[in-house]
Amino acid sequence: KCQPIIFQVSITNQNQWDEVLLTKGVLVIDVYQAWCGPCKAVVNLFRKLKNEFSEDELLHFAVAEADSIVTLKPFRNQCEPVFLFCVNGKIISIVRGANAPLLNKKITELVEEERKVLAGEKERPEFFRYFTLFTTFFHPFPTEGVRYSVAIIKPDAVSEGRVEEIKKKITGAGFSIAAEEEKLLTEEQIRVFYARNTEQPDFDDFLQFMMSGPCHILVIAKKESTKAIPHWKDLSESSENEPDELDPQKQDRWETEELLSFCDVQDSIEDASRQLAFFFPNFGKQNTGQHVERTLALIRPLLLKERRDSIIQRIRDDGFKIAMQKEIVLSEEQARQFYKEHENEDYFPALLEQMTSGPTLALALTRVNAVERWRELLGPKIVDEAKKNNPTSLRAEYAVDSVPIDQLHGSSSPGDAQKELKFFFPQEHTLALIKPDAVKEHKGDIMQKVKDAGFAISKIKEASLTREMAMQFYKDHEGKPFYDSLVTCMTAGPSVVMVLTKENAVEEWRQLMGPTDPEEAKLTSPESIRAQFAQDILSNAVHGSST
C-alpha cells in the first residue's frame, strides 16, 4: 500500500527550529497552535507548488508549533493561520490567514527571484527583518548634556506584558526613561519612524504587524560627560571572542537580546531629534522627571449608584483625564479572575458579593504620575483606617455606611495598571463603514478623525453594496418603515469598509460616530462624525457594529 509523501517538516522545539532555519532556498512555515494543529486548507496548494518547483530543490515546507518554540512567542494564542517565509535562514515576510491566491503568488515570486539570484541575474535584496535580534546603534542627540532618543516597544511585547521587563533592562544599563506613552500607531507614524526602511520588500507586512496592537513609545536618555556616543547595541551584543560556555554573563546577554528583539530605536541624531518632536511635541516643555501615565480606577456598584457624578467631578478636578470608560456588571468568574490575588483573604467573599451586585464603572485615567497620584487620593484600603488617619481621602469621603469594603480601586504599580487596563479594555476589532453619502465629499476628513482618535485601520477596502447585500446587512431592520429607504441609501454608491483596532474599539467607535440622528449629535456630541458630516438620520455618514 502506498504511503503519502510527507513534504512538510515538523518542528516542535527550539533546537529543531534552529536546524530547519539553516535550510537553503525558500522555506514556508505554517505556524500553528497546539490546540488546533497545522492548517489543512492549504496542504493541497503547497503539495502542488512543491511538485511544480521540485527540479531544483529550492522550495521547502514546514509546520511549527508556536507553543513550544521560544522564537514564535509573538504568534501564540492566535486564532488564524500564520505563514512565515524564510530565504536562506532569514524570516523575510508573513501572511496571516489561509489566503490561497496570496500564498500562491508570494511563494511563486520568491522561488523565481531565488532562481535569478542563483543564476547571477540579480543581487539578493536586503530584507527588512522585523522579528530578529535587535542590534541597532543608539545615537541620541545632545541637549544640555543629556542625550535622548525615541524607542518603540513592538505590539507582541506589549501584548505579552513585557514592557516593564524591557524598561528594567534599559535602566539597568545606565539609561533613564524621560517620557513614555502606550498607543496604537497610525500608518503615518510607522512610516515616519521607519522612513529608511519603506523601500524594503516586506515593509507592507511589517506595517500591518506594527498596526496589529498598541506599541509602547519611550524617550530614552543618557547623561554624557564625554563626547562619546553611547551605543544601544552595548545592551545586546556580545564579543566574538567570548568562550562558548554558558556563563552567567553570557546568559544575561542572551536574555537581553531576546528582550530587545521586541524594541526598536532610531540610529541617527537627525532622525532621533525629528521623531522626538513627532511623538512627544511637548517634551521640551515638560519636567523630564515626570511621566504621563495611565491607571485603572474602579467605582464599585454602591458608590456608582449613589454618587456617580460627584466622584467623577472629583477625579477631573484633580487633573485626571478620562481616556476610556466602561460600565460593566461583572460575573462571579470575572470578579474572581480580577481579584485572584486576594482569594485567601478574609474579606474576599464580601468583595465578590460587592463586585457582582450591580454595574461597576471602569475608568482609564491619565495624567502625570497617574498611578502614584491616584493611590494618594484614594488613601488607606481599610475604611476605618482611612476615616481615622486620612479623613480627606476618597475612600474616607466616599465610604458607604455599614459596608466594610471600600468603594474605589486603583492600580498598585505601572505594571499592574497595564495588566488591569487590558482586563477591562482589551484590544478589540470592530467593523466600520463610511456610507455612500459621505464617501464622495468627506472621506478624507472622516479618515483623519479615525486616525486622530488612535484607531489602527487593520483592513480597508472600497466596495459597492448590491441591494441583496444591503438587505442582508440591515436584516434586523426588515419590516420597519425606513427599511427600504435605508437600503436605497446604502446602494447609492461605493462605501468604505474598514476593520478598526483599538482598546475598547467598539465603544470608542460608537462615541466617535455620535448619535444616529445628526441633529441630536450636534447638540450632545458636536465633535462627532455625524454631527459634522451627516445629512440626515438615514444618510448619517457612518455605520458601526453594536458588539
Q: Which residues are annotated as a binding site?
A: 435, 482, 510, 516, 530, 540
Which is nearest to 513 in space by CA: 433, 454, 439? 433
Pairing outcome for strands 427-434 and 176-183: unpaired
Burial classification of residue 479, based on how many CB atoms lie within 10 Å of its CB (0-12 exposed, 13-18 middle, 19 or more buried): exposed
Instruction: Tell me the C-alpha distance between 328 and 326, whole Å.
Output: 6
C-alpha cell at 10: 515538523
409 tagged catalytic: yes
Instruction: Tell me the C-alpha distance between 92 and 110, whole Å.
Output: 10
C-alpha cell at 155: 505590539
CB atoms within 10 A of CB 126: 12
CB atoms within 10 A of CB 33: 18
Candidate list 60, 291, 442, 543, residue with the active-site label:
543
Beta bridge partners of 461: 497
C-alpha cell at 509: 467607535
Tell me which DSSP letter residue 535 carries: -
Candidate list 409, 429, 442, 477, residue with the active-site label:
409
Task: Look up residue 433 and give its amino acid.
Answer: L
CB atoms within 10 A of CB 496: 20
CB atoms within 10 A of CB 268: 15
Beta bridge partners of 498: 432, 460
Count Cβ neighbours within 10 Å for each residue of 55-89 and write b for 16 or more, e otherwise: eeebbbbbbbbbeebebbbbbbeeeebbbbbbbbe
Which is nearest to 505 in space by CA: 442, 438, 423, 426? 426
Burial classification of residue 438, based on how many CB atoms lie within 10 Å of its CB (0-12 exposed, 13-18 middle, 19 or more buried): buried
Q: Count of alpha carbons within 13 Å of 288, Cβ hemisphere only?
A: 17
Binding residue numbers for ATP:
435, 482, 510, 516, 530, 540
Beta bridge partners of 299: 361, 408
Which is nearest to 236 in space by CA: 131, 130, 132, 134? 134
Q: What's the alpha-carbon Rg for the chain, to the nearest Å?
A: 27
Phi, psi of 249 (to 5 degrees): -65, -45
- 486 three-state secondary structure: helix
Place of cell 513592538: 154
543 tagged catalytic: yes
Task: Look up residue 265 and give its amino acid.
Answer: V
Instruction: Tell me the C-alpha distance between 121 and 370, whole Å.
Output: 59
Q: Which residues are catalytic?
A: 409, 543
